């Protein structure tokens, strides 16, 4: 017990005061990200720490074929991240005002029964907005979200 007490006394005599260090002072004000795909200047770029996707794209200049429709331009970027810019896909647009049963049946989630309902709806009135498709029995918001990339008026 005396040895333990002596060690405690010695430890207190040699006690050094510890200081908390703010590591933020050593953090860089910049980040590096890699951008590839449909951009004119692919590679690793340096940005401000709080930069977003839009600021990064200004540096690398997207090509005319770049598909920016599914990219969140306001998204904040993190150091070491990779951003891939996809190429636009050439999709065939099916007109809900003029397509026949076979063309409508080829749309995702649409079978022959719903295709016929679309034609019946058109006999009464033509579609003036894509969202009107949800007025057809069997087409709710969830199915409409799948379809809207493939349809036009």
CB 33 within 8 A of CB 80: yes
Look at residue 88 and give its three-state secondary structure.
coil
Question: Mind listing the pLDDT tens digit for each residue in 55-71?
Answer: 999 999 999 999 888 78
Question: Mind listing the pLDDT tens digit for each residue in 137-147?
Answer: 999 999 998 88
Q: 56, 58, 101, 100: which is closest to 76 by C-alpha? A: 56
CB 137 within 8 A of CB 111: no
pLDDT confidence of residue 1: 64
Could you tell me the domains of the chain? 28-85 (3.10.560), 94-152 (1.10.150.320)
Average the pLDDT over each of 37-46, 63-72, 117-126, 128-137 and give the range with the smallest value.
Answer: 63-72
Question: Alpha carbon 61 to chain centroid distance?
Answer: 19
Question: Alpha carbon 85 to chain centroid distance?
Answer: 11
């Amino acid at each position: 017990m005396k040895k333990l007490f002596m060690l405690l006394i010695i430890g207190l005599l040699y006690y050094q005061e510890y200081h908390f260090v703010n590591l933020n002072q050593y953090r860089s004000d910049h980040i590096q990200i890699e951008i590839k795909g449909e951009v004119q200047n692919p590679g690793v770029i340096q940005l401000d720490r709080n930069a977003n996707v839009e600021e990064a794209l200004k540096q690398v200049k997207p090509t005319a074929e770049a598909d920016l429709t599914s990219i969140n331009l306001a998204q904040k970027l993190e150091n070491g991240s990779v951003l891939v810019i996809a190429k636009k896909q050439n999709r065939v647009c099916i007109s809900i005002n003029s397509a026949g049963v076979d063309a409508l049946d080829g749309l995702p989630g649409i079978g022959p029964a719903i295709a016929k309902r679309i034609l019946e709806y058109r006999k009464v009135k033509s579609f003036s907005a894509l969202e009107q498709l949800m007025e057809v029995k069997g087409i709710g918001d969830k199915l409409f979200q799948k379809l809207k990339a493939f349809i036009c008026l």
